[in-house]
Amino acid sequence: MRYGYFDDQNREYVITQPDTPLPWINYLGCQAYFGIISNTAGGYSFYRDARLRRITRGRYNNVPLDEGGRYIYLRDDESGEYWSPSWMPTCRDLEQYTCRHGMGYTTIGSKYRGISASTRYFVPLDETLEIWQLTLRNDRLTPAAISAFSLVEFCLWDAQDDSTNFQRNLSIGQVEIDDEVIYHKTEYRERRDHFAWFACSDPLAGFDTQREAFLGPWRGWDKPAAVERGNASNSHAHGWSPIGSHHVKLVLQPGETHQIVFVLGYHENAKDQKFDPPDSQIVNKKTVKPVIARYRNKANVDAAFEKLRAYWDGLLGVYQATTPDIHTDRMVNVWNAYQCMATFNMSRSASFYESGIGRGLGFRDSNQDLLGFVQMVPERARERILDLAATQLPTGGAYHQYQPLTKKGNNDIGGNFNDDPHWLIIGVAAYLKETGDWSILGEPVEFDNQPGSAQPLYEHLRRSFHYTLERLGPHGLPLIGRADWNDCLNLNCFSDTPGQSFQTTTNKEGKVAESVFIAGLFVLAAKEIAAIAQRRGLAEEAKNYLASGARMEETVRQHGWDGEWFIRAYDDSSQKIGSKENAEGKIFIETQGFCVLAGIGLEDGRARQALDSVRKHLATPHGIVLQQPAYSRYYLNLGEISSYPPGYKENAGIFCHNNPWVIIAEAMAGDGDNAHDYYSRINPSARERISDVHRCEPYVYAQMIAGRDAPTHGEAKNSWLTGTAAWNYYAITQWILGIRPEYDGLRIAPVVPERWQGFEAVRKFRGVTYRITVRRAGKGNGVSLTVDGKPIEGAVVPPPAAGKTEVTVEVRLG
């Protein structure tokens, strides 16, 4: 069953009923001001950091799930009847409800008793504000007297404190009202230099800023007293819960349309210019007023929207494909790329499943995210790499997370996730291949943000690599530390205390437990760093990296192979994990995918065998589960993985992040049918028709789909912020469609299904547009390339002569 449809032309997903199985959300903003918005206008906004600069309030795990947001109430001033054109929170029976989630904007429209209302929400480029553009139309045969009320609930900035520290917070709320603009200035009197403001294009009939005055005692968002009465009370919040609500009254003639613009913004003043007059407590509005004036003007609002559209056209234009499969096209051309930008911006911080409080930007996560967005915003990728590297420790290890506002490593979460450092090598390699910007390697970058510790970025890569060499276990495999990619395989944790965090609790020294996954990652990193060293003229160093990689590969063959698949790890007593010797957790996906992806076993048949074992033991119609059999009880020596009920999360859920490793491995092994088959099983668009089972948004990937051991097999959770986005994008664009940036040019080596007769693609790469046509001439994956009419040797299209910006490539496949 579906709840909407893809409007491919307009790059929108159109939801046609408000009561989707879960809130289906979108993101507003792509630079510094961000918001999440659901299909019923729920969600919140923040400036840069979802925890430390929360502008509006979100209540987690609420009932209903999605309550509180960017609400508009409409009231028929003759009958007194009122409704929310976004359905929530009044939940009237709307006619013609549609929510269009697009690229950086959401438009929610509906009709009720002859009044059509449509609100477009977006954040203009280069501004720290959001716009709600409400268009009303009277479709009745008689004039309509209508009241419109806007509503936001302000957060007192620190979202964590806001939801817990009531003894203080209920007394500190402060606002100002000036020229009909509502200013939220809690804590501005002391150490904050920032405030929020909420303005309206139209003259007001009234306003409210105190929540209780607007709602009335003992009432919820569904029946605010001010709306019911048809009059705001011009309340002025002191303490309690500041809100912003404008009241606009209008009369619409039959057929008449009217637009009202509401603008919610964030603004900072210089420390010494906070007040006006300087010795007062009044917010200095000199620099914010021009901004407010700009967007009270509707022509500027439309122009800002067009600019946003053009921005996204530009980003998505970097890679466009036309294939025989609509689901592939949709994800490649629009939604997967779009999701990659969201994971770049948000890492794992703010979604309907990530509170915005708990997690900053992950070191491992953000480096992997690079694989999905570097081609769209290379200059921002550069900045991200340097920020990440600056949180690396002198040992080569890394803080697991950092806060986006301070860009400092997060001490609460700490480090010792022994896979972390290698992702920096993988991320930097992807950046170099895409951009050819070798200057980044010479950039001085501090360790742990310590002044005076700066070394060229290249030195950071070296230390990343050596980190593992200095931490090998009894079999010569890398020690796992706190965990590797699988945060939940905690082999040194031995937690027996309720509530203890598996992620942060004190661990054993850990001189025994080893990770075959890190071994695979190390082998890949060795190849990448060797290629980089080689190109920097460090031939000897390159040779050493390759030798270390080859040694590790040999170690994996000896101690990481179980006969039919790769072992996952060795525990603290050197017992195998992910082996036929185990009663549960006999085979894991991560090492099958990643070891092959690193090239292990491609020559001796083990890769094929491992992948066949995946098909036999782990593949389900809804995707590939993480391991089998699921852990049926808690194992002290395994940690969090066995804390989850079977079929969920890392305990045999379909953890979508690692499915693309198998997809790439299948492509490397030359099987385009298998690769695309696995790709399609978790492709959200391909799952749209079972939206009642899948339940999450059909336009973006979710972190997890419940595995076959769960009673809810096929149900997705934790959509949007997941490494799944980058890895699937990378898998389909670079390995299945096979258009792959390399140091010396663009490789074109598709491994597509046998039945595909071909496809077309446009790829912008280092300032050149490549128009690529692939035609199948026979079975198999062999290619012959014709570039601008001339046949070339091999599969790498070299850069064209200087000044040439368009290249045509014809590919004969098979």
* Rounded-to-integer distance, Cα 191 and Cα 214, Å: 29
Q: Which stretch binds ligand GLC (CB under 6 A): 177-185, 486-494, 562-570, 766-774?
A: 486-494
Nearest distance, CB of residue 518 and ligand GLC, angstroms: 12
The yes or no reply on residue 364 touching ligand GLC (CB under 6 A) is yes
Q: How far is CA 46 from the centre of its chain?
A: 16
Q: Which one, of 365, 360, 444, lies nearest residue 405 by Cα?
A: 360
* Rounded-to-integer distance, Cα 162 and Cα 89, Å: 22
Nearest distance, CB of residue 799 and ligand GLC, angstroms: 35
Nearest distance, CB of residue 508 and ligand GLC, angstroms: 18
Encoded amino acid at 516, one letter: V
- Rank residues 501 and 808 by Cβ distance to ligand GLC and give the closer one: 501
Nearest distance, CB of residue 177 and ligand GLC, angstroms: 42
Contact predicate 276/284, CB 8 Å: yes
365 by Cβ neighbours in 10 Å (0-12 / 13-18 / 19+) ranks as buried
Contacts of 104 (CB under 8 A, 6+ apart): 27, 28, 29, 30, 122, 123, 308, 311, 312
Q: Choose, by CB under 6 A, the member of 133, 333, 336, 486 that binds ligand GLC.
A: 486
Residue nearest to ligand GLC (CB): 487
Q: What are phi and psi of 560, to 5 degrees?
A: -115, 10
Catalytic residue selected from 49, 419, 487, 671: 487
Please report the DSSP string for 300-312 in residue order: HHHHHHHHHHHHH
The alpha carbons of the chain give a radius of gyration, in whole angstroms, of 28
Residue 708: HSE in the Cβ half-sphere, 13 Å Cα cutoff: 13
- Rank residues 128 and 355 by Cβ distance to ligand GLC and give the closer one: 355
Binding mask 626-645 for ligand GLC (x = CB under 6 A): --------------x-----
The yes or no reply on residue 51 touching ligand GLC (CB under 6 A) is no
How many of the chain's residues bind ligand GLC (CB under 6 A)? 16
Contacts of 505 (CB under 8 A, 6+ apart): 493, 495, 497
The yes or no reply on residue 722 touching ligand GLC (CB under 6 A) is yes
- The tokens for 523 are 């082998």
Nearest distance, CB of residue 661 and ligand GLC, angstroms: 12
Q: Choose, by CB under 6 A, the member of 100, 267, 348, 694 that binds ligand GLC.
A: 348
The yes or no reply on residue 343 touching ligand GLC (CB under 6 A) is no
- Rank residues 51 and 657 by Cβ distance to ligand GLC and give the closer one: 657
Q: Which stretch binds ligand GLC (CB under 6 A): 422-430, 480-488, 538-546, 800-808?
A: 480-488
In whole angstroms, how far apart are CA 663 and each of 115, 440, 526, 751? 50, 31, 22, 11
- Rank residues 287 and 632 by Cβ distance to ligand GLC and give the closer one: 632
The yes or no reply on residue 490 touching ligand GLC (CB under 6 A) is no
The yes or no reply on residue 649 touching ligand GLC (CB under 6 A) is yes
Q: Which stretch binds ligand GLC (CB under 6 A): 42-50, 76-84, 483-491, 685-693?
A: 483-491
Nearest distance, CB of residue 118 and ligand GLC, angstroms: 36
Q: Which one, of 486, 489, 506, 488, lies nearest residue 497 by Cα?
A: 506
Q: Which stretch binds ligand GLC (CB under 6 A): 78-86, 107-115, 482-490, 668-676?
A: 482-490
- Rank residues 266 and 502 by Cβ distance to ligand GLC and give the closer one: 502
417 by Cβ neighbours in 10 Å (0-12 / 13-18 / 19+) ranks as buried
- Rank residues 359 and 776 by Cβ distance to ligand GLC and give the closer one: 359
Q: Choose, by CB under 6 A, the member of 49, 369, 434, 650 that binds ligand GLC.
A: 650
The yes or no reply on residue 514 touching ligand GLC (CB under 6 A) is no
Which residues on neighbouring strands pair with residue 12, listed in sequence order?
7
Which residues, numbered 748-787, are part of the site for ligand GLC (CB under 6 A)? none
Contacts of 715 (CB under 8 A, 6+ apart): 693, 694, 695, 705, 706
- The tokens for 578 are 């992910």
- Rank residues 553 and 590 by Cβ distance to ligand GLC and give the closer one: 590
Which residues, numbered 146-205, are part of the site for ligand GLC (CB under 6 A)? none
Nearest distance, CB of residue 355 and ligand GLC, angstroms: 12
- Rank residues 530 and 656 by Cβ distance to ligand GLC and give the closer one: 656
Nearest distance, CB of residue 659 and ligand GLC, angstroms: 13
The yes or no reply on residue 485 touching ligand GLC (CB under 6 A) is yes
Contact predicate 206/234, CB 8 Å: yes
Which residues on neighbouring strands pair with residue 245, listed in sequence order?
208
User: Active-site residue 487, yes or no?
Assistant: yes
Nearest distance, CB of residue 569 and ligand GLC, angstroms: 14
Q: How far is CA 734 from the centre of its chain?
A: 20
Encoded amino acid at 505, one letter: T
Pairing label, strands 54-56, 71-76: unpaired
Nearest distance, CB of residue 404 and ligand GLC, angstroms: 15
Q: Which stretch binds ligand GLC (CB under 6 A): 234-242, 426-434, 467-475, 485-493?
A: 485-493
Contact predicate 210/236, CB 8 Å: yes
* Rounded-to-integer distance, Cα 151 and Cα 209, Å: 9
Q: Determine how many CB atoms are found less than 10 A away from the CB of residue 384.
A: 22
Nearest distance, CB of residue 502 and ligand GLC, angstroms: 6
Encoded amino acid at 294, one letter: R
The yes or no reply on residue 354 touching ligand GLC (CB under 6 A) is no
Residues in the chain: 814
- Rank residues 133 and 367 by Cβ distance to ligand GLC and give the closer one: 367
- Rank residues 496 and 540 by Cβ distance to ligand GLC and give the closer one: 496
- Rank residues 364 and 687 by Cβ distance to ligand GLC and give the closer one: 364
* Rounded-to-integer distance, Cα 243 and Cα 252, Å: 28
Place of tokens 């009270």: 296
Pairing label, strands 619-620, 702-705: unpaired
- Burial string for 581-620 (b: 16+ CB within 10 Å, else e) reads ebebbbbbbbbbbbbbbbbbbbeeebbbbbbebbeebbbe
Encoded amino acid at 791, one letter: P
Q: What is the sign, positive or negative, of the torsion defined by CA atoms of 778, 780, 782, 788?
A: positive
- Rank residues 284 and 503 by Cβ distance to ligand GLC and give the closer one: 503
Nearest distance, CB of residue 417 and ligand GLC, angstroms: 8
Q: Choose, by CB under 6 A, the member of 52, 316, 393, 488 that binds ligand GLC.
A: 488
Contacts of 352 (CB under 8 A, 6+ apart): 22, 23, 25, 36, 38, 65, 66, 719, 720
Binding mask 654-683 for ligand GLC (x = CB under 6 A): ---x--------------------------
Q: Determine how many CB atoms are found less than 10 A away from the CB of residue 439.
A: 10
The yes or no reply on residue 503 touching ligand GLC (CB under 6 A) is yes
Q: Which stretch binds ligand GLC (CB under 6 A): 147-155, 311-319, 337-345, 481-489?
A: 481-489
The yes or no reply on residue 365 touching ligand GLC (CB under 6 A) is yes
The yes or no reply on residue 703 touching ligand GLC (CB under 6 A) is yes
Catalytic residues: 487
Sites of contact with ligand GLC (CB under 6 A) = 348, 362, 364-365, 485-488, 503, 640, 649-650, 657, 703, 722-723
